[in-house]
Structure 1
């Protein structure tokens, strides 16, 4: 009997909720549902009698091939391909924006431009991306789109759980050429599934990746909406995560929620959104064990240009890593036809733009793996080795944020009754942890303090 995804992944809190296992299950006995924390997980709707183990084989957090190994098979033999441990394989790197989609997109609009271009040029028949549902219980879900106008209306970042089980089943049922957008773990799951299913391998012709530091649960959106002033969750019809203001830098974007009457509530990143984000509130446990920053298995990866020379521009700018020769040709054509304002940029600048995420998913991951090993927890094998050599202050910060990650899930349940969120009360209960992290950052500026003093303060 082969192990399954429920016993090995879900019960060990390693599920990211991508839905691939349910989508590809031959017996269709897995169903994706959200748990009390607003995270998607699979459950068995009937007893599995085949024990084929396919569900575990396609799980991005199972002990299967890693991104380097899979990437070598997909991209390793392509002429001109380069490789770096941080980025994975890549042909070229670009910086720029779409002249048409820049303003309405989260950053430079390059991803939306490419998706619409693929449809317009008849390169693909369908685009699969997260789409607003105007449903308080499920604000976003993956949809299959064939009209470029619908793709345009779906532009923008989504920090809300979505899962792929239904769209995977539709791909298997309906012939066509598909392009799908996803986070690194989702793209990895699709690659694993495609290795085991010919229809997926032939029909998914392109994958579009997004750089990711962490995912968030549904409760994250509920909390931010409450902070913005929309405390009655039953009334929320739509949210927008990355609004732009001309008078503010690109990094200080705003979250906006709209209720059933069209009333809008807005809150900026610096007004409380960043506090929940950087301290890992409402982050699934699986995100603690991800080492893929640049969606290494995607044919092209898009990200924000978090570099000094671009980040103050409120309109937003994209960085792009290209791995597919076909996508590279389309980008070059877009530059020639003046549809995009884009130029090549050294890959070291791309790495620099995501230095914080690289620190999180490589150096800090090594200590999280060490802690998990010390506790006897089951975790996936990663390309990073467990290590405790990270520095006293950083150790304390990681432990604090892990504690906040866990506390935020449980505490939120106490302050979300009957779909009404007491956001400020929740925030005040989390405040002691936040103060401690601020103290650690302050101490980090005084690295010459005696170790004895630092240890005493960190207790």
Structure 2
């Protein structure tokens, strides 16, 4: 039997295995539930080098960077315009801008209107970097960007904790750690692409082909920023979670996240292979702030040094303050998970699927209410 990733299913879909394969025989495609998964093409061409297994964070019990947090901060950009267009305090964008100005390339995530997907891409300039602004609440396709990385050059790489853990293994394997700065974020999980496809097709009936999507903008205020602004060829549409947006409702009720998000997530709390972790600082300390605050955690001296070179204001804080409102344990997989992912592929309206999910959650919701 060949020594490769071919036996791995329902993994993180990070794509690092495909990017690292010297024979380029691993493809990342959607599985039946709507999540990225590796498949071996041309098994006979495999040389059993084992690199795809070496870089895979899914099959390992431990994370690649065994490091406790160095420091925690409440932070925000001193540039009001940057703070306004970013999901929280704009620190992630400030880091990227700072490193681009110092000759780094940035591997970030943008929305691709042609494929209707979130994709990793490489930005060389400030103008190219702007496409990465804001959160994307769908799983990103990494392979094309990761395959075009030159390990001899300097890069900032951003991604989900599992993507960054695998990428850390990749740069450790090829002994090029010093050329990379890695950023991840407090992660809830990623929803099935069947959800996004069904949701966006309904929107397209109203606005035409989608031109752009903005997740988590601050049109109203930061604490009510779970929203979607979608621009189409015919019109624009704006939906808010607080007013019943079905995409965010399905995402936040955890009914159709990736299998690995429930069963294999090792990255909740203070577990990270990044130099820096960022996220929204939702808690009580800044509950009256509506401009956006980033919770920032540094895990390496590299991350700590970079943070203090930014055009940002930092308030040193405790872990309890910075991580308040974030998930600290992996989620429990719903019994209806597989059925819900299947329903999302059918012609059944999304609203009816949401009602079904809420019905299956009644015992849990009643239990929570009785505790109040």
Provide TM-score, normalisation by structure 1: 0.73
- Measure, in 1, the Cα distance between the counterparts of 2:146 and 2:271: 19
- Measure, in 2, the Cα distance between the counterparts of 1:408 and 1:257: 25
Larger Rg: 1
Please, which runs of 5 or more residues in structure 2 have no aligned partner? Answer: none
Query: What secondary structure, in the 3-state scheme, does the structure 2 residue paired with 1:216 have?
Result: coil
CA RMSD of aligned residues (A): 2.5
Query: What's the CA shift for 1:249?
Result: 5.1
Matches within 5 A, 1:157-306: 157-172=135-150, 175-198=152-175, 200-203=176-179, 205-225=180-200, 229-231=203-205, 235-246=209-220, 248=221, 250-261=223-234, 263-270=235-242, 271-272=244-245, 273-288=247-262, 289-293=264-268, 294=270, 296-306=272-282
| Greater percentage in helix | 1
Please, which runs of 5 or more residues in structure 1 have no aligned partner? Answer: 73-87, 365-397, 417-421, 446-459
Which residue is 1:140 aligned to?
118
Question: 1:47 pairs with 35, 43, 57, which one?
Answer: 43
Which residue is 1:85 aligned to?
none
Query: What's the CA shift for 1:109?
Result: 0.7
- Measure, in 2, the Cα distance between the counterparts of 1:296 and 1:129: 18
- Measure, in 2, the Cα distance between the counterparts of 1:428 and 1:216: 17
Query: What secondary structure, in the 3-state scheme, does the structure 2 residue paired with 1:333 have?
Result: coil
Which residue is 1:83 aligned to?
none
- Measure, in 2, the Cα distance between the counterparts of 1:286 and 1:156: 24
Matches within 5 A, 1:49-448: 49-63=46-60, 66-67=62-63, 70-72=64-66, 88-100=67-79, 101-120=82-101, 122=102, 124-135=103-114, 137-172=115-150, 175-198=152-175, 200-203=176-179, 205-225=180-200, 229-231=203-205, 235-246=209-220, 248=221, 250-261=223-234, 263-270=235-242, 271-272=244-245, 273-288=247-262, 289-293=264-268, 294=270, 296-334=272-310, 339-354=311-326, 357-358=327-328, 360-361=329-330, 398=332, 402-415=334-347, 422-445=349-372
User: Is the Cα contact below 8 Å between 1:71 and 1:89 reproduced in 2?
Assistant: no
Question: 1:33 pairs with 29, 32, 47, which one?
Answer: 29
Aligned pair count reads 365
Residue 267 to residue 434, structure 1, CA distance change in 2 (3 Å) = farther
Query: What's the CA shift for 1:438?
Result: 2.0
Provide TM-score, normalisation by structure 2: 0.89
User: Is the Cα contact below 8 Å between 1:97 and 1:108 reproduced in 2?
Assistant: yes
- Measure, in 2, the Cα distance between the counterparts of 1:250 and 1:303: 13
User: Is the Cα contact below 8 Å between 2:283 and 2:325 reproduced in 1?
Assistant: yes
Q: Could you give the per-residue CA deviations for residues 76-110 of structure 1, whole angstroms, max 9, x where no partner exists?
A: xxxxxxxxxxxx52221110211321110111111
Residue 206 to residue 95, structure 1, CA distance change in 2 (3 Å) = same
